[in-house]
A and B are shown apart, each in its own frame.
Chain A
Amino acid sequence: MDYNVLAELLAATVRVAAPLIFVALGAVLSESAGTFAVGVEGMMLMGAFSGAVLTFVTKSWAFGLLGSAMSGAALALIVAIATARFRTDHMVTGLSVNILALGLTSYLLRGLFGGKTPVINLPTLDAIQIPWLCNLPLIGRALFEQSLLTYAAFFLVIPMHLFLKKTQTGLMLRAVGENPAAAFSAGTDPIRVRAVAIIVCGAFAGLGGAVLSLQELGTFTDGMTNGRGFIALAAVIIGRWQPLFVMLGCLLFGAASALAFNLQGWSLPISSYVIQMTPYLLALAVLCGIGRRARMPAAIGRSFTRN
């Protein structure tokens, strides 16, 4: 493989990983507090949709981003009320909102723009070059010539790590996911902590969706997240709920997607659909290997009731 192709692959890896990182960091919050984040796929889709629509209507990126975070959070609110307050099953609830989001976005798209094949066309966010650094060999373009939201995704990792490890709130959040009774007796309200964690997770997942629609593609199409939310969940497991490792997990899937995309250009005698499956097959393989050993938050999936 020649040098330019490799540099291009690295740049694509980082670019593809960015939306995954947003979603995965959100999922880390929700799951560390004890709620399976199955609904991130739907929250991401909602974010992608509202981001695109609002930016299109208001002509403002800021409104678009705000809208995507808020719509992701709104969908998450449903999950929060159902699971934390009414103790529904996390898997079922998550899957339901995923289906809800798929239907709702397709419906609203047609309702708002009419016609059979509605089109939103947006200029995508430009790459920002960091002077000097972007000229570094091999990694220069990958790390220092990316769009705003990509930088933002990677910059979020450290604060998230510090939040979970070094702050009282983060400690409490993890305690709620490990042993809600202990957290309760230490003076917190596990139900509220879980609800807030889920809602913030929704906002993050929404932003992840916005990266896709505003920065990558400049449009919204039905079901455009296409399983990326689930890939982010796999990255969370690979990274064992620790933001730094989760980021590496996202990069791994980014690399797989970038490679798959690249391979399609080589006109190999394999169906392009098979090649597109590689990141998902990789996710399965990695989960079989690492997933077994990963230690989940001890109380994940279990509801908390007070006597």
Chain B
Amino acid sequence: MRCSESQDPADPSPMLQMQGICKRYGAVRANENINFSVTRGQIVGLLGENGSGKSTLMKILFGMVRPDGGTIRFKGQALSGHTPRDAIRAGIAMIHQHFMLVDAMTVAENVMLGWKKAGAWLHDRQVAEQIRSTSQEYGLDLDPDAMVGDLPFGKRQRLEIVKALLRGAELLVLDEPTSNLSPPEVTALLAVMRRIAGDSRSIIFITHKLAEVFRVCQEVTVLRDGKNAGRCSTEGTTRAELARMMVGREFGLATPRVEMGSGAEVLEVTTITLKDSSGLKLLDEITFSVREGEILALAGVDGNGQTELVEVLAGLQAASSGRIALHGRDLTKTDVTQRLRAGLAYIPVDRATTSLVPGMTIAENLGLRDFAEPPLRRGLRLNHPAFYSRAVSRISEFGIRADGPGATVDTLSGGNQQKIVVAREIGRKPRVLIAFQATWGLDPGATRFVIDQILALRNSGGAVLYLSSDLEELLGIGDRIGVIANGRLVGIVPREKANPAEIGLLMAGGGLLPAALEINEDLG
């Protein structure tokens, strides 16, 4: 057996050693006797399904969360009862899965926040300069003066990365840093990680993309249900073996694609243009249609108009010009409620703000789209038993790991929050589903599950517009594949004719050949 239970016997005094870590939330055992260690100069992958306790373990390390038991030794010193301040002092930095950014501040202010080197009297100009040069050096384009609240999700992730890079800690914890990055950006980030580890600093890397683990990690620790499931070196293992360790079983077969023939056009979008206040075109004459039983997959680097497009379609923003029709009915001037009634469903990228109400329960969140109609409404009142029973069935159908329908959504792991969104939108059996990074933060099993659900929706005649920066996923799911770049929709092709290298080129706006090639290599 190449994979041991938990400890690496070859390194008797690791840089970081966590032993017997326990943490309970009510009835949920988030961490149960977890052992974890990191050797200096290594990149250690931390894998596990949604809700397996990865983020909790890292928050305990960083002092954000107090453990119920266990010991932590970092560079030979005990860390106990510590806060993030102590962890930072000791040389640990962390990129959180749910970003720790202040929306009402600029990029530069967020970088300076709590950073000693920024000075007691802030050297804002120097810091802005450093942000510019660092982000350029690593291919993560960032404007120091931009307000964080205005940034698309991908940019916020870049900001978190730049923040951590500038601080240059000895141990860097990255909790799903790649989930919102496009393939070229992921490649750039992985290169940075290798460079950091080359300086005999260490990285803990949490991701759900196994291919990334094999590209950078030397060691992997797998968690399952809050317990250690194994530890191995990446050289001695395979993707399948890791996947088995994570879920404790083999994956089943994917939902088969049924040939659908060509159905009627359901969603018709004609020359949609959106201008910002300065007249800049964020969306430029976007025209497409989606048929019954068809998935139109749109690739693109985040920040090229995807957010605007889906918001215009969902009715959250009004287009400057153009027309949206559903089954021939003009929806251009209608509001969100009318569009929902007409059979439109929307999975937005930022679940925590646009999609879920974190302080409300799972049952309430699941009912958010149809509480005004029976069975969730009874007369003038809400029908709580119906909320409850719907929640119970969705929780089991979608495998949501939670304390029960009454648990508030903010106590769930990231992946499980996403499952609630997916369960709610697909559970409505919509005629048109707009999904934007629907598998963000999901583990491989859950990703497969969501894709299966979307395929099942398609097979039963639903029309789906699927946007993502994950090319592999798009090529797997789309009936037709297009690219959105600089607010324009370019080159929609049927799936048989889709060529990853070409799409990669279109995504990058025509430039960056090497990045596109690397995408290709990844798909192998």
Contacts and interface: CB of A to CB of B under 8 A. Distances in A.
Contacts of B121: 166-168
A182 B102 contact: yes
Interface stretch (B93-101, B216-224, B228-236, B421-429): B93-101
Contact of B102 (A166, A175, A295, A307): A175
A121 interface: no
B84 A168 contact: no
A267 interface: no
A250 B120 CA distance: 30
B122 A171 contact: yes
A182 B101 contact: yes
Interface stretch (A79-87, A100-108, A139-147, A185-193): A185-193
Contacts of B96: 185
Contacts of A116: none
A269 B122 CA distance: 57
Given A172-B114, A175-B113, A179-B103, A185 B84 contact: yes
Contacts, number: 80
Contacts of B83: 184, 187, 189
A214 interface: no
Contacts of A182: 100-102, 113
Interface stretch (B104-112, B446-454, B483-491, B500-508): B104-112
A138 B253 CA distance: 86
Contact of B113 (A166, A186, A189, A295): A186
A174 B101 CA distance: 12
A190 to B, nearest CB: 11
- Most chain A CB atoms below 10 A, which of B83, B96, B118: B83
Interface in B4-45: 25
Contact of A185 (B25, B64, B105, B122): B64
B64 A186 contact: no
A189 B84 CA distance: 9
A178 B104 contact: yes
Given A171-B122, A172-B114, A306-B64, A185 B101 contact: no
- Chain A: interface secondary structure? helix
A181 interface: yes
Interface in A182-214: 182-189
Interface size class of A (residues with CB under 8 A): 20 to 34
Interface in A265-307: 295, 297-298, 306-307
A186 B114 contact: yes
A185 B120 contact: no
A172 B122 contact: no
Nearest to B59: A307
Interface string A157-175: 0000000001111011011
A295 B121 CA distance: 26
A188 B65 contact: no
Nearest to A179: B102
A174 B105 contact: yes
B85 A178 contact: no
A171 B103 contact: no
Contacts of A295: 104
Given A168-B120, A172-B113, A306-B64, A187 B84 contact: yes
Contacts of B64: 184-185, 306-307
Nearest to B87: A187
B128 interface: no
B336 interface: no
A295 B102 CA distance: 14
A297 B102 CA distance: 10
A178 B103 contact: yes
B408 to A, nearest CB: 13
A185 B112 contact: no
B85 A187 contact: yes
A245 to B, nearest CB: 16
B387 interface: no
Nearest to B96: A185
B62 interface: yes
Nearest to A186: B114
A115 to B, nearest CB: 53
A306 B124 CA distance: 31
A200 to B, nearest CB: 17
A166 B124 CA distance: 8
B351 interface: no
Contacts of B66: 306-307
Given A185-B62, A307-B65, A298 B103 contact: yes
B476 interface: no
A178 B105 contact: yes
Given A188-B114, A306-B64, A168 B119 contact: yes
Interface in B106-155: 109, 112-115, 118-122, 124
A244 to B, nearest CB: 18
Contact of A179 (B85, B100, B122): B100
A181 B62 CA distance: 13
Contacts of B65: 306-307
B118 A168 contact: yes
A189 B85 contact: yes
Contacts of A187: 83-85, 88-89, 114
Nearest to B113: A186
Contacts of B88: 187
Nearest to B149: A298
A161 to B, nearest CB: 13
Contacts of B104: 174, 178, 295, 297-298
Contacts of B113: 171-172, 175, 182-183, 186
A171 to B, nearest CB: 6
Contact of A168 (B59, B62, B85, B122): B122
A186 B84 contact: yes
Q: Which 3 A-B pairs have the closest CB atoms?
A: A186-B114, A187-B85, A182-B100
Interface of A: 166-169, 171-172, 174-175, 178-179, 181-189, 295, 297-298, 306-307
Given A182-B100, A297-B104, 15 more contacts: A167-B120, A168-B119, A175-B113, A179-B100, A181-B100, A183-B102, A183-B114, A184-B84, A185-B94, A186-B100, A186-B113, A186-B115, A187-B83, A188-B85, A306-B65
10 contacts: A171-B122, A178-B102, A178-B103, A179-B101, A184-B83, A184-B84, A185-B100, A186-B84, A306-B65, A307-B25
